[in-house]
Amino acid sequence: MTKLKVVITRQLSADAQKLLDDVTDLHVVQWPSEKPCDRSWLLEHAKGASGILVMLTDKCDEEVIATAGPQLKVVASFSVGTDHVDRPALKSRNIRLGYTPTSLTDAVADLTVMLVLMAQRRGGEAMRAVIDGKWPQMPWHPFLLTGPQIRGCTVGFLGFGRIAQATLKRLVPFGIKRAIYLTSKPGKIVKEADGFGVPTESIGSIEELATDSDVVIVGCPLTEQTKYIVNAEFLARMKKTAVLINIARGPVVDTDALTSALDQGQIFGAGLDVIENEPNIQADHALLKQPRCVLLPHIGSAAIETREEMAIESVKNLLAGLNGEAMVNEYEL
């Protein structure tokens, strides 16, 4: 019997690789480098594949799918998002799509807490002062590099899914006073919201979220409705002592409005893991000139254990797709 061909666009972690290599009746074609797979390599090797395992950076479009041929049964994506995959093209051919949405909750929630503290306590500004050799010339005074304390804060969540809830659980022992959240169904109580150990309320309007929060955490999906939902008006309503955190998708926040709000001291600071037009952020980007803004290169899920789990889950989804079995997480096309 001919072995089924699978194409893997990356080197995988050791455990995930073993899981794949243990399946002896597969013909595995794998991109040999640590760097992203060349598109020409993918197109060359896709032909005849029954399964393809791709990363967020590999466009799995009509061309790739058509090149593979009619025997293609499954695309397994090592990612939460699936925008890089032509889902209608898969659906029309009855090709299954696997993805990895669940394993990164903890890693992203950890990073969210880190960004809250960095924004409040001026961590970026303080680090840069030391790196630039300014510490010896900073005369100590009681309010040097001080920022608001998290104890007693009202934390507002724009979107209240798994990651937001995991973040709230972590923030409770810091002594926060209250959590409020707004979802796509304003006022509807999220089932899982009970028992966080602080008063947690679903609120009815985005204005209330902006006005009442000392910390705003943006964790909603990017949709037509949420694009630029954090705009100049939202920022103008925020407290001068409040911070804005974005761990969702860049375009949920209007970057120009945020830059101007920071510039004018309308808000205290910002912590961002994502930004519009990433990764094309040059050193002269206006937001990088704001000392109270911490910008990270989208490393929310970049924890070793998480990425290992995502790799294993991708391989399991791939194998399940080949064998007609249930995936760990299958995308409903």
Contact positions with its own copies (CB under 8 A) in 193-232 = none
Q: Is 14 an interacting residue with respect to its own copies (CB under 8 A)?
A: no
Q: Binder to its own copies among 5, 10, 45, 237 (CB under 8 A)?
A: 10
Active site (annotated) includes residue 298 = yes
Kindly tell me which of 73 and 122 has the beta carbon lying closer to its own copies.
Answer: 122
Question: For residues 160 and 185, what is the distance between their CA atoms, to the nearest angstrom?
Answer: 11
Give the nearest distance from C-beta 149 to its own copies in angstroms: 4
In degrees rounded to 5, what are phi and psi of residue 207?
-60, -45
Our measurement of the distance from residue 113's CA atom to the centroid of its chain's CA atoms, rounded to an integer in Å, reads 14
Give the nearest distance from C-beta 140 to its own copies in angstroms: 5
Q: Binder to its own copies among 1, 40, 94, 140 (CB under 8 A)?
A: 140
Q: Is 2 left (phi over 0), alpha (psi -120 to 50) or beta?
A: beta
Question: For residues 306 and 315, what is the distance between their CA atoms, to the nearest angstrom?
Answer: 14
**Span of 66-74, 90-98, 172-180, 249-257 interacting with its own copies by CB under 8 A:** 172-180
Identify the active-site residue in 27, 84, 141, 298.
298
Enter the DSSP assignment of 36: P
Kindly tell me which of 71 and 149 has the beta carbon lying closer to its own copies.
Answer: 149
Kindly tell me which of 248 and 294 has the beta carbon lying closer to its own copies.
Answer: 294
How far, CA to CA in Å, does 97 sit from each of 13, 233, 321? 21, 40, 8
Kindly tell me which of 206 and 303 has the beta carbon lying closer to its own copies.
Answer: 303
Contact positions with its own copies (CB under 8 A) in 21-80 = 34-36, 55-57, 78
Total residues contacting its own copies by CB under 8 A comes to: 75
Question: For residues 263 and 267, what is the distance between their CA atoms, to the nearest angstrom?
Answer: 9
Q: How far apart are the first and last CA of the chain?
A: 31
**Span of 80-88, 102-110, 154-162, 242-250 interacting with its own copies by CB under 8 A:** 102-110
Give the nearest distance from C-beta 114 to its own copies in angstroms: 4
Contact positions with its own copies (CB under 8 A) in 106-135 = 106-107, 110-111, 113-114, 117-118, 120-124, 126-133, 135
Tokens of 79: 């990612």
Question: For residues 270 and 119, what is the distance between their CA atoms, to the nearest angstrom?
Answer: 5
Q: Strands 269-272 and 293-295: what pairing?
A: parallel
Kindly tell me which of 23 and 303 has the beta carbon lying closer to its own copies.
Answer: 303
Tokens of 123: 């961590």
How far, CA to CA in Å, does 190 sit from each of 162, 173, 200, 213, 245? 11, 22, 10, 19, 21
Kindly tell me which of 108 and 203 has the beta carbon lying closer to its own copies.
Answer: 108
Angle at 277 between CA 256 and CA 257, to 5 degrees: 10
Contact positions with its own copies (CB under 8 A) in 272-291 = 278-284, 288
Q: Is 303 an interacting residue with respect to its own copies (CB under 8 A)?
A: yes
Catalytic sites, residue numbers = 298
